[in-house]
A and B are shown apart, each in its own frame.
Chain A
C-alpha cells in the first residue's frame, strides 16, 4: 500500500470539508438528547432537587455514578496517549487524538454533573479559593475540595495535551482554506509556521506533558475513589479503592476508545488509518484490564466476605444474592464473561469483536459504579436507617443527556479538527525507529512496517 503525505492530508482533512447525511442525523440525535437534558435540568432548577429520587439514606446515586463513570472514561485518552508516546509506540499515531478528545470531553461532562447535584449551581464559584468578603475558604480537608483541584488540573492538562499537537494541523487546515474558515484556523494555529525551532519546542513540550499527565490522571481517579473511601460507609472505607478505581477507569476508558475508533473508522471512512492492528493492540490492553478488573473485584469481595463484618455482609449479600443481584451478575457478564473469550481468542479479536467487547464493558462499568454507590448507601451501619432508591425520569434524562452531550461534542470536534494527527502520520512515512529514511521516489513511500 503506497501512501503519500499529500494523500494523508487529503484523507484526513476530507471530513472537515465534506459531511454525509448520516453525520447530520447523528448530530440531530445527539442534540435532541442534550436538549432533553437541558429541559430536565431546567425543571430541576424550577422545582428543586427533590425531583430526583434521592432521599435519606441515599443522597448520592445516578449523579455520582455518572460523575465517576465519565471521569473514568476520561482515562482513555490522556493516560493511554501519554504512555504510548513515552514508550514511543509507533502504532499510537492514528489513535492518540481520538483518545485525547475523549478525555477532554468526558472530564468536562464529569465536571458538570456535580454542578447539577449541588442544587444551586450559581454558587459553584464558592469552591474557588479567593479572598472573599464572606471570609469562607474551601475546606481543604474535604475530598470534594480535592476533587475540585484534581479535576481542574486534569482538565487543564488534558486540554493542553490535546491542543498542542493539534496546532500544526490547524495550520494545515489554514493553508488549504479560504474565507471565514481561514480566519478561524489562522487564530487557532497561532501563526504556526513549521520551522525546526517550533517543531523542537513542540516535541519537548509534548514529552514534558506526557510525563506530567500520567501521575495527574492516576491522582484524579484515586481522589475520586477517596470521595467514597474517606467515608465510614460499609464496603467503602477501604484502601483498595484507589487502585481499584484507577484500574476500572483505564478499563472503561480503553473500551470507550475502541468504540469511538470503530465508529470513526466507519463513518469518516478512515479504514486506511485505523487498521485492524490498532484494534488488536487495544484489544490486548482491554483483555489485560478485564483480568485486572476481575482480580480487584474478587479481592475486594473476598476481603469483605472473610471478615464477615455484619454491616459489610449486608451490602455484600444485597449485591450478590438479593435486590441488586441481577445488576451485579450482568456487570460480571459484561466486564468479564463476554469480553475475555472474545479478546483472548485471536480469531475473535477483530474490529467487530473488540467493538462488541468494548460495548459490553462500557455497560458493565457503568453498572459497577452504580453498584459501588447505591447498595452501600441503602444499607449503612444502623438497620433502622436502611432505605431504598429508585431513579426518577429527571435522573434518567440527565444520564441519557450526558451520553448525548459526549456524542455531540465528539461529532462537532470531528468536523473542526482532523481526528487523526496529520503531521504524526507523516512522521510515520519518513522514519523507522527514529532513523531517517530518504523517500525512494518523489514523496512515494510506504506506511511504516507493522501497519
Chain B
C-alpha cells in the first residue's frame, strides 16, 4: 500500500484539498475510500470532519442499557426463585433491592455497548498499518490518497499543492 499526501497547516487548507480531491475523484478514478484525512485533533465545523457525524452509537447505548437491565432483572429474580430462602413472609423477589442491581446493570450495559460500538465504528484495533506522519503531531493535517492510480501521481501532487499544502510527501511504507 502506497500513499501520496499533503500536509496542511490549518483545517481550511485541509478542507480545500479534500474538496479538490473529491470533485476530481471521477476524473482521477479515485474511490471515496482512497481519500484519507488524518489529524492530531478533531476539527468540528468543517465538512471533511462533520460528514462523518453519526447518532448511531446513542441508539446502541440505549439498546445496551435495555439488555443490561433485562440481564439484571433475570439474574436477580431467576436466582431468587431457583434457590428460595426464608424471607419471613416478605417478598421473595423484592423490587426495591433488585431494582438497585437492575439499575447498575443498565448502566454497565450502556457502558460496555458504547465501548464496543466505538471500537467497531472507529475500526479499532487495527494493527495492519496506518498512515502516520510526525508532522501530524505538530499540528499539521494530512490529506491524501491511498494507493494512488498509476501515472496520476504528478496530477494528484499538483492538486494537493494547489490547495496550499505545506509539504507533499510520498510514503511508500506505512507506519506499523
- Residue ranges of A at the interface with B (Cβ–Cβ < 8 Å): 4-6, 9, 129, 135-137, 139-141, 145-146, 149-150, 152-153, 156-157, 160, 164, 167-168, 171-172, 175-176, 186, 190-205, 208-209, 212-213, 215-216, 219, 223, 422-424, 426-427, 429-431, 434-436, 438-439, 442-443
Please determine whether A196 and B114 come into contact, CB atoms closer than 8 angstroms.
no
A149 CB contacts on chain B under 8 angstroms: 100-101, 104-105
Q: How far is the CA of A262 from the CA of B77 in the complex (A)?
A: 49
Give which listed residue, B42, B104, B121, contacts A150 with CB less than 8 A.
B104
Chain A interface mostly:
helix
Give which listed residue, B11, B107, B126, B130, contacts A215 with CB less than 8 A.
B107
Please determine whether A443 and B97 come into contact, CB atoms closer than 8 angstroms.
no
Question: Which 10 pairs across A and B sit closest by C-beta, in order of nearness?
Answer: A5-B139, A191-B126, A6-B138, A190-B125, A205-B118, A199-B42, A426-B41, A193-B130, A436-B45, A201-B121
A434 CB contacts on chain B under 8 angstroms: 44-45
Q: How far is the CA of A200 from the CA of B123 in the complex (A)?
A: 12
Contact (A5, B40) CB under 8 Å given A149-B101, A201-B57, A443-B139:
yes
Sample of 10 further A-B pairs with CB below 8 A, known A153-B107, A199-B39, A204-B58: A5-B137, A153-B111, A175-B132, A191-B123, A197-B122, A202-B42, A429-B139, A430-B41, A434-B45, A442-B166
B39-56 interface (Cβ within 8 A of A): 39-46, 48-49, 51-55
Give which listed residue, B9, B40, B130, contacts A172 with CB less than 8 A.
B40
Please determine whether B127 and A186 come into contact, CB atoms closer than 8 angstroms.
yes
Please determine whether A205 and B42 come into contact, CB atoms closer than 8 angstroms.
no
B117 CB contacts on chain A under 8 angstroms: 201, 205
Task: Considering the complex, give the chain A residue whose CB is closest to the CB of B46.
Answer: A436
A137 CB contacts on chain B under 8 angstroms: 79-80, 82-83
Provide 9 A-B residue pairs closer than 8 Å at the C-beta atoms, listed in order of the A residue. Answer: A137-B80, A137-B82, A156-B108, A191-B126, A193-B126, A193-B131, A197-B52, A223-B100, A436-B43
Question: Between A and B, how many residue pairs show CB distances below 8 Å?
Answer: 206
B123 CB contacts on chain A under 8 angstroms: 191, 197-198
Please determine whether A212 and B114 come into contact, CB atoms closer than 8 angstroms.
yes
Contact (A191, B127) CB under 8 Å given A436-B11, A443-B9:
yes
Q: How far is the CA of A167 from the CA of B123 in the complex (A)?
A: 13
Please determine whether A197 and B121 come into contact, CB atoms closer than 8 angstroms.
yes
Q: How far is the CA of A439 from the CA of B121 in the complex (A)?
A: 31
Give which listed residue, A9, A146, A431, contacts B137 with CB less than 8 A.
A9
A424 CB contacts on chain B under 8 angstroms: 41
Residue B168 interfacial (CB < 8 Å): no
A422 CB contacts on chain B under 8 angstroms: 40
Please determine whether A208 and B139 come into contact, CB atoms closer than 8 angstroms.
no
Please determine whether A129 and B10 come into contact, CB atoms closer than 8 angstroms.
no
Contact (A212, B125) CB under 8 Å given A156-B112, A194-B136, A204-B57:
no
Residue B24 interfacial (CB < 8 Å): no
A195 CB contacts on chain B under 8 angstroms: 36-38, 52
Q: How far is the CB of B5 from chain A (nearest CB, A)?
A: 12
Please determine whether A208 and B57 come into contact, CB atoms closer than 8 angstroms.
yes
Query: CB-defined interface of B113-147 with A at 8 Å, one 1/0 digit per residue?
Result: 01101110111111110111010111110000000
Task: Considering the complex, give the chain B residue whose CB is closest to the CB of A429.
Answer: B139
Q: How far is the CB of A276 from chain B (nearest CB, A)?
A: 25
Task: Considering the complex, give the chain A residue whose CB is closest to the CB of B126.
Answer: A191
Give which listed residue, B10, B39, B52, contacts A194 with CB less than 8 A.
B39
Q: How far is the CA of A197 from the CA of B33 in the complex (A)?
A: 12
Please determine whether A175 and B118 come into contact, CB atoms closer than 8 angstroms.
no
Residue B151 interfacial (CB < 8 Å): no
Q: How far is the CA of A439 from the CA of B108 in the complex (A)?
A: 42
A176 CB contacts on chain B under 8 angstroms: 134, 137
Please determine whether A202 and B122 come into contact, CB atoms closer than 8 angstroms.
yes
Give which listed residue, B36, B100, B111, contacts A160 with CB less than 8 A.
B111
Q: How far is the CA of A235 from the CA of B58 in the complex (A)?
A: 43
Please determine whether B132 and A186 come into contact, CB atoms closer than 8 angstroms.
no
Q: How far is the CB of B9 from chain A (nearest CB, A)?
A: 5
Please determine whether A200 and B52 come into contact, CB atoms closer than 8 angstroms.
yes
A156 CB contacts on chain B under 8 angstroms: 108, 111-112
Task: Considering the complex, give the chain A residue whose CB is closest to the CB of B55.
Answer: A204
B7-23 interface (Cβ within 8 A of A): 9-12
Please determine whether B108 and A191 come into contact, CB atoms closer than 8 angstroms.
no
Q: How far is the CA of A273 from the CA of B139 in the complex (A)?
A: 18
Please determine whether A205 and B114 come into contact, CB atoms closer than 8 angstroms.
yes
Of A6, A164, A204, A422, most B-chain CB atoms within 10 Å: A204
B114 CB contacts on chain A under 8 angstroms: 160, 205, 208-209, 212
Residue B98 interfacial (CB < 8 Å): yes
Task: Considering the complex, give the chain B residue whose CB is closest to the CB of A140.
Answer: B76
Q: How far is the CA of A424 from the CA of B42 in the complex (A)?
A: 9
A192 CB contacts on chain B under 8 angstroms: 122, 124, 130
A136 CB contacts on chain B under 8 angstroms: 83
Residue B4 interfacial (CB < 8 Å): no
Task: Considering the complex, give the chain B residue whose CB is closest to the CB of A137.
Answer: B79
Please determine whether B121 and A212 come into contact, CB atoms closer than 8 angstroms.
no
A172 CB contacts on chain B under 8 angstroms: 40, 137
Contact (A153, B108) CB under 8 Å given A129-B79, A200-B53, A434-B45:
yes
